[in-house]
Amino acid sequence: MHTIGFLYPGYSAEDDYPTAQRMLDSIDGASGLIAPSLRLAHTEMREDAHRVDALLDIGSDEVLAAGARELAEAGPLPCDAVIWACTSGSFVFGWDGAAAQVRALGQVAGVPASSTSFAFADAAARLGVRRVAVAATYPHDVAERFVWFLAAAGIGVVQLGTLGILTAAEVGTLGRDRVLEVAQAGDHPGAEALLLPDTALHTMAWCDDLEQRLGKPVLTANQVSIWQGLRLAGDRTARAGLGQLFRTAPAAEPETGVPVEPASGAR
């Protein structure tokens, strides 16, 4: 059984992970498999704000290192991979800065590491998606940085929609009907997939609903984070019920070329 660790900033949609755990237990149990274990640690959020300066603080090496140590102490088994489950707290550093962030996290954790931003890039590549629409909860200036991040991965954004919500806490209050509305409003006929890039947004119970509404793949922040963690841990199981991404067995190698292995001698 694989154990995946997630560093989650503050409190907003953290219950998406227990929801995903129950779904994995049900899906894998029906196939006679033992589901992977999803372990969550909350990292420090000194200010809940989708603002560049606050996001740089949320994603600092110091904050993530403390979270990695908490994950290591949270269970009897070590994690097989660790994910920084925050999109804006990774892409705000830019491609190179986010890669350095992942490398530092992997060195502290001693296991393969990644972040939600790179998970989006890897997931889109796995599905062969190059043109996307983005329905972001963030203010426009923050959302633009996600567009730039995707461009570095060779992914073009044909439409960017923003809700302008400043705090993760407010994003976490959006229910199923509102999330479906946001997704539909943010879609574009020229997009091969829609991206919902905020781990503060509840989506795990509605992945299939979102794709049925839009008729195309929908990638959500918590969904791709979990998928990436499983991939890095070596889980190659295809699963129904969690969107097209999970129905596509993960590849062994990342598409982004970003190092995910811990530094030599780390553990």
SS (H, E, C) the chain: CCEEEEEEECCCCCCHHHHHHHHHHHHHHHCCCCCCEEEEEEECCCCCCCCHHHHHHHCCHHHHHHHHHHHHHCCCCCCCEEEECCCHHHHCCHHHHHHHHHHHHHHHHCCCEEEHHHHHHHHHHHCCCCEEEEEECCCHHHHHHHHHHHHHCCCEEEEEEECCCCCHHHHCCCCHHHHHHHHHHHCCCCCCEEEECCCCCCCHHHHHHHHHHHCCCEEEHHHHHHHHHHHHHCCCCCCCCCCHHHHCCCCCCCCCCCCCCCCCCCC
Q: 164-212: per-residue pLDDT in tens?
A: 999 999 999 999 999 999 999 999 999 999 999 999 999 999 999 999 9
Q: Work out the average pLDDT over 45-70.
A: 96
Mean pLDDT of the chain: 93
Q: 123-164: per-residue pLDDT in tens?
A: 999 999 999 999 999 999 999 999 999 999 999 999 999 999
pLDDT tops 60 at residue 266: no
pLDDT tops 60 at residue 67: yes
What residue segments make up the domains of the chain, in order of their start? 3-247
pLDDT tops 80 at residue 259: no
Assign a CATH topology to domain 3-247: Rossmann fold (3.40.50)
**Residue 76, pLDDT score:** 76
Q: What predicted TM-score, i.e. pTM, was given to this entire model?
A: 0.94
